Each structure stands twice: as C-alpha cells, then as structure tokens.
Chain A
C-alpha cells in the first residue's frame, strides 16, 4: 500500500481528502488525515456573529462528517515533519510514514505576539472575530454597548481573508444605524497598508465605500503594542489611537509545527512553489491552503482553486510525471458591505481586481467591484456551498484559472 498523509483537516485538508479518495484505487492507496481538533468551523461565518446575524451553532459541525468513510482519521497534535525520513511525528510520541504528504495546517491567530493585547481589557473591550470565542464575546458586548470609539486594527500582514476587516466595519456601520445609535459611534479602520486594500483599483473603490459610510481610514499604522490603562493602540513610530472598543486582527502565523520541521519562512508559512504547489525542500511534500507562503490571498476560495491544480500535480507525481499543472493564484472574494449588499473581487498573481461582471452559470452574473444585492446573496449562499460542495471536493461551476471574461481592463 502506498501512503498519502494529509496534515490538517480544515477547509483545504478535507477538500483534498475527498478528491483523492474518490480518484484512487482503494486496494493500492491508504489515505490518512491528522488534525488536533474535532470541530470544523465555517470561518467566513465568524464575521456575522458579532452582529447577531449568525450564532455559534450556525458555524460548527463535526469534522468527521466531511471525511470519506475509507479515510483513516487521527485526532492528535502534530509535532513535526521529518522530510528526509518521510515521517511525521505526533505529540503523543507515535509516528507515521508517508509516500506523499499534504500540508494543510492553515494559519492561526497569535495575539501573544503583540505586547498588551491580551491584557486586562482582552474580551472586555478588546476582541478579535477571527476565533469563535472572540466573535461570540463581541456579540455579547455589542448588545449593550451605547457607543463611543470603535477601532478596527489589522496587526500584521499577511492575514487570512484580507477583506474581512473591511466587511466588519461596513456591517458595524449598518448594525449601529439599525440600533439608532450611529451618531454616537465613531468608526476607524486602522491598517499597516497604504490604503484600504493592497491592489490600487480595488483600494479606490473600497476607500470610496468607507468614505461614503463615514468610516475613517488610518493607513500605514504598524501596531507595536496596546496600552490597556490608557486604552490606546501604539505604532512603532509612536502614533497613538484611542479606543473605547478595539476589534483586532491579531498577528497571523502558520503552525509552530512548520517551524519545528524547518520548512517555513519566519511567519511559519511553508516555502512553496507558487505554481506547482510543491514544498521547495521536498518533492513529495505538497502544500494547500493558508499554510503555503504563496503570494495570493489566504482564503477558502483560493484553497478551492488551488486544490484542482494540486490534485493534477499529485496524480502526475503518483505516475512519475513532472508537475505540469500551474496555479495562477486565483482568488474570488465576496465583500459584504451591509444593508443587504455586497461587492465581489476576482484576481490572481498577475491581474489585480478589475471592475466588470463575473459570469457564473445558473446564478450570475455578479457585479465585480460593484455594490449590489446579488453579491450579498452570493455571500450568503456561500455557506451552503461550503458545507455541501466545497468541503466534499465536488466540482463548482467556476474555473480554477482566472478568466478575463466580463472584466473591464481599460478604466481610469
């Protein structure tokens, strides 16, 4: 029996387990998946919890429900990969051999990386919504909050789902308007980037959107620490921004297991060939999802498109062919903007998000970089698509490679 080992049973690992299991001869191949936790979180849903649109029960399901019956599942923490020996060590002291390895251990929030972030005020007036605990605590806080300064701060790049903080402030704006206290809430969006987003055309559109909603943007703010007593955030060049409630995207880092395995960069993301999705150190190690250091968004949609390429290249490797499939960095993100509307961006390594329309057979077209109702529905049906199609590794009516169809290239 040849052995495939998948590390991490989140979005990417689960998708890959399903795809491989369906394609491979069960007499010849043994597929094993390892994860430390039994609960699968629909992370895009975290965004809606603070505003009472979703509750915890809307975003959790057992991981086991999504693994194919013939895949061996081990719930254990991974200690490290020993690439030279084709072996993975678990923290209980046991070890597993593999012929091919898929790393899909994602990224974690690391509030401990910012001095003062987890001080006195943590979960009292400082919250993250990148964990279910933080999102639920924030929902409780917002219910009785009477207004003041709301500061949304991004700690470090890269972080997963780069549009989530923008969506958060838009939803907050709509939420407080609905509660009739918008005039008492001052919303500020603080980012280390030079603008609301990284790519120029999308930044222009999103800056306008935030401006229309009277949300202030503070760019080029690089967070050093949080002062709990004075309730200010401080940057390295000593700018201070006061807050009454701080919502934060903590530093995001890959698993420490990657560091212990000597496979990562200094944010513990696996050094990965951005086209073949192979580890730069070992040919039989592949990387999928947020764990990879490829220069595109860390998002479920990216993992989905990359999975198709990875699947092809693994099939190539199984039959001793070179990895001819090439990933283009395709990302496709709905941006929830409040009041039942949304925007959509679609881009890859080389093409920045452009306006136009996005063709989706049966449902679309969706407006690209436009604020429309249909884009909002796109976001809301994404949850159903996630549980029923994406995780199960089924085909979606969207090409893995980005298409220029519908995009407008010549705008000023």
Chain B
C-alpha cells in the first residue's frame, strides 16, 4: 500500500498502482494516471471508464468481452484506446480493482 499524489490529492494505491478506494476517483486523477502509461484520455476513454465504474459497483465480473458488448466500443476499438492491456489499463484509470479474471 502506498499513497500517491494525483491532481493535487493524495490517493491510496496498491503495489501495482491501482486505486484502493474507488470513491476517491475523479476525471482529473484518471487523466494523470493515464499519462503515466503514456495515454491521453478522450471522451471515448471516459465513456469506457464510466461503464467500468458502474459495472464494478454492481459487482459484475469484468471481462474484455463484457466491455466489447457494452455498445461503447468493440474489442478491437478497446485495444486501440488502451494499447498493451485494455482491461488492465482501463480498470487502473477507472480507479477500480484490477479484474482478477476468474479461474
């Protein structure tokens, strides 16, 4: 567990840099975390983040396929928005736990 400074706020994150408390999240924080991974967030990105936050709140299991069926982007598009790790990065920017894809 560590504390990081994003958008002028101190935010609790785990060893992998994922936010511990989703309620601390803001769009500005998301933008700064994304910048660390070299990604500039657009409206489309934010739509995906909102979707993930809602799904997480409802306790849904998050998979790439699930996001691909959300009507916001298809899977290919998701990879283009978050190159190198669509779910890994989008969940990180959304301030929710990394989806432990279920065994």
Contact of A296 among B78, B84, B101, B102 (CB under 8 A): B102
Pick from A157, A194, A236, A331: contact of B63, CB below 8 A.
A157
**Chain A residues touching B, range:** 20 to 34
Task: Find out whether the CB atom of B101 lies under 8 angstroms from the CB atom of A224.
Answer: no
Chain A 280-317 residues near chain B, CB threshold 8 A: 293, 295-297
Q: Are A157 and B85 in contact (CB under 8 A)?
A: no
Which A residues form the contact surface with B (CB < 8 A)?
Answer: 156-158, 162, 192-194, 197-199, 220, 222, 224, 236-237, 265-267, 293, 295-297, 331
Fill in one digit per residue for B67-95: 1 if any A CB lies within 8 Å of its CB, else 0.
00100000110110001111010000000
Interface size class of B (residues with CB under 8 A): 20 to 34
Indicate whether B64 reaches chain A with its CB closer than 8 angstroms. yes
| Pick from B60, B64, B75, B79: contact of A265, CB under 8 Å | B60
B binding-site residues for A, Cβ under 8 Å: 60-61, 63-66, 69, 75-76, 78-79, 83-86, 88, 100-103
Complexed CA–CA distance, A286 and B83 (Å): 41
Given the known inter-chain contacts A220-B85, A266-B65, A266-B69, please indicate yes or no for A157 contacting B79, CB distance below 8 A. no
Is A157's CB under 8 angstroms from B76's CB? Answer: no
Secondary structure class of chain A's binding surface, majority of residues: loop
State how many angstroms separate the Cβ of B63 from the closest Cβ of chain A.
Answer: 6
State the CA gap A265–B65 with chains docked (Å): 12
> How far is A156 from B84 in the complex, measured between Cα atoms in Å?
17
Judge whether B79 and A197 touch: CB under 8 Å. Answer: no
Question: Across the interface, which residues of B come within 8 angstroms of A295, CB to CB?
Answer: 61, 102
Question: Which residues of chain B have C-beta atoms less than 8 A from A265's C-beta?
Answer: 60-61
Per a CB cutoff under 8 Å, which of A198, A237, A293, A331 touches B101? A198
Asked if residues A293 and B75 are in contact (CB atoms below 8 Å), the reply is no
Nearest Cβ on chain A to B51's Cβ, whole angstroms:
13
Q: Residue A192 contacts which of B79, B84, B101 (CB distance < 8 angstroms)?
A: B101
